[in-house]
Amino acid sequence: MKFNYELSNKVLRFIDKANLEEISIGCSDSQVFKIEKNNKLYFIKISSKGNLTSEYEKLKWLRGKLSVPKIVLYDCTDDTEFLITESINGEMVCSEYYLNNPEIGINVIANAFKQINNVDIKNCPFNVTLDYKLALVENNVNKNLIHVEDLKAETLKRFGNLENIIKFLKDNKFNDELCFSHGDVSLPNIFAIDNEFSGFIDVGECGIADKWFDLAICEKSIRRNYGEQYVSKFYEKLNIIPERDKIDYYLLMMELYL
């Protein structure tokens, strides 16, 4: 098993005599492994120091508020962070079963959104509103982390360069409809068991945000995994009339995400 980072002593003790399998699905900056130990499943994320702090703090805050993984171990060295959590029961709603039964998948996803909407933001300490997201993507562009060739052909034809996209996003800001946001409600992060929602993973970008951001991310993921015809079914299940200008704004913004 090849690790990209040197493991801490606490992590080495935890994984001793365990079976590990590297997980490559998802868009995380972390190295992720599934751990099988004493007939239980865990997951470990390993990343440069600072990359997992937010997720660790947010998992602690969400305990009892939303179905998310339980923290088993958090540790850090001078340059690396480690986060071990219990697994969420069930399977991703982009597993083979749900890809073959997208109607059931849409029901699960709709119920997942209802759980998100039940999280009270009154005392939520995490602000990931539109201005936060704009600063994030502008930083990505300024640091040359996003390249013109990463853009969709139609986006490049419309805007010409990355700077014009940033200008458009800044000039066309709208007021946030504040709610609790998971931050990455793509299908690999939604789990179900027996056709019922069972939990979320990857909550490092959760917090108070505009409601249309999560909807836009999920729409994109549904389109990719289930097909265009299920996007409208998704909004119907939520009894939402999509505001295309806001959704398209966030879909554009996502092209500047890492």
Active site residues: 184
What does the block give as tokens for 121? 């933001």
> DSSP class of residue 53?
H
Separation of alpha carbons 139 and 65, rounded Å:
32
Collect all residues with Cβ–Cβ distance below 8 Å to 215 and sequence separation of at least 6: 113, 235, 240, 242, 247
Q: State which amino acid sits at residue 49.
A: K
How distant, in Å, are the alpha carbons of 69, 80, 166, 168, 242 from that of 190? Answer: 12, 27, 30, 32, 21
How distant, in Å, are the alpha carbons of 17, 22, 104, 106, 247 from that of 139? Answer: 42, 30, 39, 34, 22
- Counting Cβ atoms within 10 Å, is residue 228 exposed (0-12), middle (13-18) or buried (19+)? exposed
Q: Look-up: residue for tokens 């836009």?
A: 216
Strand 190-193 vs strand 31-37: parallel, antiparallel, or unpaired? unpaired
